[in-house]
Structure 1
Amino acid sequence: MSRTSVAAAMLLAACPAFANDTTAVFETGGLVFGRTFDIEMVKEDLFISQEKVTVDYVFRNSSDKDVTTIVAFPMPDIEASPYSDVGIPDTASDNFLDFSVEMDGKAIEPKLEQRAFAASIDVTEELKAHNVPLLPFGDASTAALKTLSADITDDWQRRGIVIPDGYNDDMDTMVPYWKLRSTHWWDATFPAGKDVAVSHVYKPSVGGTVGTSFYYEGKFQPNFVGYQEKYCADDTFKRAIEQATKANKDGYTPYTETWISYILTTGGNWSLGTIGDFTLTIDKGDPKNLVSFCGKGVKKIGPTTFQMKAKDYYPEHDVDILIMKPANFDAPAEDNGK
C-alpha cells in the first residue's frame, strides 16, 4: 500500500524545545469478536481527534443462522512506573478512557474485566483485599498503599508489586509497579443475513512533548528517521519545520509535539479479512497546527480535517498521528497542506 503524508497549516512562533519532558501515548483500537468466522465488517467510519475517537461500524452476519458471540473492546495495558508519564484521560475511573457503546442505536452497558499482574503473576485479589484500586496511576492508588502494614509493604516490594518512589528521591513511599489489563465486553446477537450497526466513543490517550525533539541546532536529528517511518513526515512537513525555525528570532523550533495512535490492524480479523467500506477522518484541532500521518488518497475536507476513503480495505498498518502545535499565535497561518 502506498503511504503518503499530510502536513498542514504552518505558523511562526516561539517556544524552546525540551525533548526530555514527554508524555507517552497508549495505543487504542477497535472491537474484537469471540470465535466466529461468519461476521463481516461491511463498513467502518473512524474519526480521530485529540478530544475523542468515534467509530461507526456496520457488521453483517453472512450465515443462515443467528450468531451470538462476545464483543470486546480491549483497553491498552497500563504498566505503572514512577519514571514514566502517560496520557490517561481519567485516572480516577476504572473506565479511564470513558468508553461507551451502542448497537443499532441502543446503548449497551458493557461489563468490565480487569486483572492486575506483577512479574506475570495475577495479584488482582490481593490488591482488592487491601482496598487498593487496580488502576495504578492516580492519587487513590498511592494513598491506599500508605495504609499498608510494613510486613505487607515489604512482601509486595519483594514480589515487584510496588517499588520505592525513587523518581522523587523518596525511598520510604511505595508506588504501584503492577500492570493493569482491562477489557470492556458484552454478549451480542447478530441476526442471520442482516446488518447490525455498532458505534463506540472514547477519549484517546494523547502523548507529547513540551518542545520539538527531532529538530534543533538547525538540523533534523537522527531520531527523525523514526518520524518519517511512523508518521510519513515528508518534504512538505520538513520545510514547514525549517521555515518556522528560521523565522523564530529565538532560534528554537516553535512547536510542541502531540501523538495519537489507533490500532487498526485488528480490523482484518473478520470473515473476509478486509473492511468493505472504510473512511478515516482526522481532525488536527486548530488551523495553525501541523499534522502528519500515513494514508493513501488523503484529502483536506475542512479547515482542520483530513479524510481518506477505501473499498475492500485491508488494514495492514495502524494509524499513528503527529500534531505539531505552535506555542503562540502571533502570526496568521499559512496553509502548506495537501
Structure 2
Amino acid sequence: MKRFLVALSLVAATPAFANDTMAELKTGGLVFVRSDVVSMEKEDLFISLDEVRVAYRFRNTSDENVEAVVAFPMPDIEGNPYGDVAVPVSDSDNFLGFTVEMDGRAITPELEQKAFAAELDVTETLTAAGLSLNPFADGLDEAIEALPDDTKADWVARGILYEESYDDGSGWRESHSPKWRLKSTYWWRAEFPAIQPVEVTHRYQPSLGGTVAVSFLQDGKPQEPYFGQYQQKYCVDESFLNAVRRHAKTAPDGNPPFYETWISYVLTTGANWSGAIQDFTLTIDKGAPENLVSFCGSGVRKIGPTTFEMSATDFFPERDINVLILRRTDGGQ
C-alpha cells in the first residue's frame, strides 16, 4: 500500500484600498504532493457569488492501491481591528461551510485548529482561558475584556492582543481585540484503488471582497493605479470599461451604478499531480443578468443569461483565477 499526502490549498488575501472595502479570502482546490501514479482526468470548477464547487475525476494509474490522507487547509484568518475580511460564517469553526464527497459518499472530515501569535502556538493559552480560537467569534470581545488586567497586559506583550486607548468623553479608556492568527485544516483518510477512477467533489461558500463603488473609473476616465491593477488581475479591457461608462451616463448622478465584488481562487497550486489536467472546465456565474463580469481566460463563451464557460484539454494552470463582478446598486437594468 503506497502512501502520500493530498492537500486542498486556500491562501489568505491582503486588504486593498483601505476605506469602505472588504478583503476576500482566496480559496483553492485539490493539491497533491508530487505523485507519478495519480493523474487528474477531469476538473469541473464552478464559481459563483454563493458557491464554489469543484468536481474532479482522479485515476490511480498504478497496479497498487494508494492510501492517502486528504487535507483541506482553510484560509488563515487573523484578528485585525484596522481591516475587514469577509468571513462567510463568522460564528462557526467551518467558516466557509465546507463539505466533501468521494464517489457520491459524504465524508465527515476531522478538524484541527491552531492559534498563533508572533509565530508561536498559543492554542492552549486561549483554550485554558475559555476563549474561542476564532478571532471573529460572537461575544469574543466581551470575553476578552472580562479577563484579569494582568492577563490582558501579558497577552498584549506577547502579541496575542491589540490594545487601543481612546477618550469617549468621560476619560481615557482601553480596549482589547484579538491579534492571533487561526489556522484550520480539515482532513480525512481515502483510498485510490489501482487503475480505478475516483470522483471527488467539494464545495464551500466563497469569501466575497469588494468596494461600495467602482474604484477604477472616475469622471468616465480610468483611475490609476487601480485601473492598471485591474487590467492585470481581472483582464479588464476597453469593452468592459465602455459598458460601465454607458451605465454611468444614464445614472442620475453620472456615477456608475455598481459596487465591486471580488472572488479569488488559487488554481496554480493545483498543478502538482501526475501530468496535466486532461479535461478542464471553468464556469463563472455573475449572479444576475444586469451584473457585469470580467476575468482572465481564453476561449470564454457565454452559455446562459449569467454564466460563462472556458474549457481546455491537457491544461496546466499558469495563473490563479480572479473574478470581478460589478453588481447594480439600484437593481436596475
State the TM-score, normalizing by the size of structure 1.
Answer: 0.88
Q: What secondary structure does 1:37 align onto?
A: coil
Q: Distance in 2 between matches of 1:218 and 1:193?
A: 58
1:236-269 deviations in whole A, cap 9, x for unaligned? 1010122222222312222100000011112211
Give the counterpart of 2:329 among 327, 330, 336: 327
Long gaps (5+) in structure 2: 1-16
Give the counterpart of 2:256 among 253, 257, 263: 253
In the alignment, which residue of structure 2 is the partner of 1:10?
Answer: none
Deviation at residue 42 of structure 1 after TM alignment = 1.1
Equivalent pair of 1:76/1:182 in contact (CA under 8 Å): yes
Equivalent pair of 1:32/1:73 in contact (CA under 8 Å): no
Equivalent pair of 1:259/1:323 in contact (CA under 8 Å): yes
Q: Distance in 2 between matches of 1:163 and 1:234?
A: 42
Equivalent pair of 1:19/1:210 in contact (CA under 8 Å): no
Deviation at residue 219 of structure 1 after TM alignment = 1.7
1:155-212 deviations in whole A, cap 9, x for unaligned? 0001111112569988522110111111111111100111000001100000111111
State the TM-score, normalizing by the size of structure 2.
Answer: 0.90
In the alignment, which residue of structure 2 is the partner of 1:4?
Answer: none
Long gaps (5+) in structure 1: 1-17, 333-338
1:76-128 deviations in whole A, cap 9, x for unaligned? 11121001111111111000001000000111011111111111111111111
Deviation at residue 220 of structure 1 after TM alignment = 1.1
Aligned pair in 2 of structure 1 residues 328, 202: CA closer, same or farther (>3 Å)?
A: same
Q: Distance in 2 between matches of 1:217 and 1:269?
A: 45
Give the counterpart of 1:266 among 262, 269, 275: 269
Q: Distance in 2 between matches of 1:167 and 1:271?
A: 57
In the alignment, which residue of structure 2 is the partner of 1:15?
Answer: none
Q: Distance in 2 between matches of 1:171 and 1:198?
A: 53
Equivalent pair of 1:38/1:271 in contact (CA under 8 Å): yes
Equivalent pair of 2:33/2:272 in contact (CA under 8 Å): no
Q: What secondary structure does 1:132 align onto?
A: coil
Q: What secondary structure does 1:139 align onto?
A: coil
- The residue type equivalent to 1:254 in the other structure is P
1:270-301 deviations in whole A, cap 9, x for unaligned? 011x2111010010000000000001101100
Residue 27 (structure 1) aligned with residue 26 (structure 2): yes
In the alignment, which residue of structure 2 is the partner of 1:60?
Answer: 59
Equivalent pair of 1:82/1:166 in contact (CA under 8 Å): no
In the alignment, which residue of structure 2 is the partner of 1:242?
Answer: 245
In the alignment, which residue of structure 1 is the partner of 2:121?
Answer: 122
Equivalent pair of 2:97/2:204 in contact (CA under 8 Å): yes
Name the count of aligned residue pairs: 313
Aligned pair in 2 of structure 1 residues 165, 205: CA closer, same or farther (>3 Å)?
A: farther
Q: What secondary structure does 1:271 align onto?
A: coil
In the alignment, which residue of structure 2 is the partner of 1:315?
Answer: 317
1:292-325 deviations in whole A, cap 9, x for unaligned? 0001101100000000011011011111000001
Q: Distance in 1 between matches of 2:323 and 2:200?
A: 24
Over the aligned positions, Cα root-mean-square deviation in angstroms equals 1.8
Q: What secondary structure does 2:25 align onto?
A: coil
- The residue type equivalent to 1:314 in the other structure is F
- The residue type equivalent to 2:158 in the other structure is R
In the alignment, which residue of structure 1 is the partner of 2:228?
Answer: 225
Q: Distance in 2 between matches of 1:171 and 1:137?
A: 22
- The residue type equivalent to 1:24 in the other structure is A
Q: How many percent identity over aligned positions?
A: 55
Q: Distance in 2 between matches of 1:319 and 1:280?
A: 10
Q: Distance in 2 between matches of 1:97 and 1:177?
A: 21
Which of 1 and 2 has higher RCO (CA within 8 Å, sep 6+)? 1
